[in-house]
Structure 1
């Protein structure tokens, strides 16, 4: 349940930030009901994650909830302040969404997504190195959220009964620069995070640990996403702009790329609960 809560929370917060970011970049109108639902979902999943974390720490079943341990976690660990900041950001996002200020949801959504950096390995780092680790992790989370939000909107567009081909081609072309920034950020911050979590001297020990194998699987999926993104940018987008019938190939590419992104989120949810060198 802890893994499911982490996975659901990461996916929810990534979409809550990524969708308005893509709408803002494309100059598109947003969907207030969807954003409001994601904000409420983030609150519910945060509560589920708290109860699952308390049960994991106490070694007790999740049901019935161990309220005493949950209170200790909230009042005596950094989880309490993290959830307070996230809760306030999600309430602000909900209010902005209900008021029709879809693009402005991006600001509190980015804050809510950033709190995930304090609930994994980066949150355990201390002193100056800890600050660098958390900054890198926040940038990593934001870049991943932007990519996931773009994938969600593009996949929806290509799977409609009558896909708006010209509009899709325009979105892909405009997204190319932003996508390049996301990829570069993910590569740089991913390297920083790996060095901070494992240590450069201990990288070789990953080959014998579960963490290392899962991290390797994540890198394989990420490389696959990069390859598909390159095909979309350099082959399928020009084909659409020339009026060629490439929508079926683009649909397949985006489906596979989105599946890889879901796989990466699941792996990250698992990695965050493991000792890298155990």
Structure 2
């Protein structure tokens, strides 16, 4: 349940930030109802994550909730402050979404997404190294959120009953620069995060460990995402612009596979965040 709560929360906050970012970059109108649902979902999933964390710490079932341990987490650990900041940010995002200020939702949504950095390995790193680690993790989360939001928006566009091919081609062309920035940020911050979590001296210890295998799987899936993104950028988008037969179907399949890979990475990240890298 803790893994599911982490996965759901990361996916929800990534979409809450990534979709407004994409709509802003494309100059598109947003979907108010979707943002409202994501803001409310972030609140509910945060509560579920807290209760699942309490149950995991004490080895007890999720139901009935362990309110005593949850209170300890809220009052005696940094989790309380993290949830307060996230709650305020999600409330601001909800108010802005209800008011129809879709693009402004991006700001509080980015704050809410950034709080994830304080609930994983980065949150446990201390002193200056901890600040560097959390800064890298926040940048990693924001870049991943931007990519996931773009995938969701593009997939919605190409799976419409009658997709507007010209509009999809324009969206893909505009996203190319942002996509390159996201990938570069993910690679650089991913290296920093890995070195901070494991340490250079302990890298050989990852071989044969569960954490090492899962990290390897994450890197393999990320590599597949990069391959699909390159295919979209250099082959399928030009084919779509030329009006080549079957281009939209090929792009639809590629985006489906890329989205599936993104979901797989979120599952792996949720799992990795619950493990000791050197255990």
Q: What's the TM-score, normalizing by structure 1?
A: 0.99
1:1-278 aligned within 5 A: 1-245=1-245, 246-278=247-279
1:61, CA displacement in angstroms?
Answer: 1.1
Provide Cα deviations, 1:175-215, integer angstroms capped at 9, x if missing partner.
00000000000000000000000001111111121000000
Q: Distance in 2 between matches of 1:202 and 1:67?
A: 38
Q: Distance in 1 between matches of 2:222 and 2:136?
A: 18
Consecutive unaligned residues in structure 1, runs of 5 or more: none
Q: Distance in 2 between matches of 1:137 and 1:258?
A: 22
Provide Cα deviations, 1:85-137, integer angstroms capped at 9, x if missing partner.
00000000000000000000000000000000000000000000000000000
1:40, CA displacement in angstroms?
Answer: 0.1
1:60, CA displacement in angstroms?
Answer: 1.2
Q: Distance in 2 between matches of 1:161 and 1:48?
A: 36
Provide Cα deviations, 1:147-187, integer angstroms capped at 9, x if missing partner.
00000010111111111100000000000000000000000
| CA RMSD across the alignment | 0.5
3-state SS, counterpart of residue 109 of structure 2: helix
3-state SS, counterpart of residue 112 of structure 1: helix
Q: Distance in 1 between matches of 2:250 and 2:33?
A: 31
Higher deviation after alignment, 237-246 or 184-193 = 237-246
Q: Distance in 1 between matches of 2:33 and 2:256?
A: 24
1:59, CA displacement in angstroms?
Answer: 1.6
Q: What's the TM-score, normalizing by structure 2?
A: 0.99
**How many pairs are equivalent?**
278
Q: Distance in 2 between matches of 1:200 and 1:248?
A: 45
Q: Distance in 2 between matches of 1:44 and 1:184?
A: 33
Q: Which runs of 4+ in 1 moved over 6 A?
A: none
Q: Distance in 2 between matches of 1:59 and 1:143?
A: 35
Q: Distance in 2 between matches of 1:21 and 1:122?
A: 25
Provide Cα deviations, 1:190-243, integer angstroms capped at 9, x if missing partner.
000000000011111111210000000000000000000000000011111111
Q: Distance in 2 between matches of 1:54 and 1:77?
A: 12
Consecutive unaligned residues in structure 2, runs of 5 or more: none
1:3, CA displacement in angstroms?
Answer: 0.3
Q: Distance in 2 between matches of 1:122 and 1:220?
A: 22
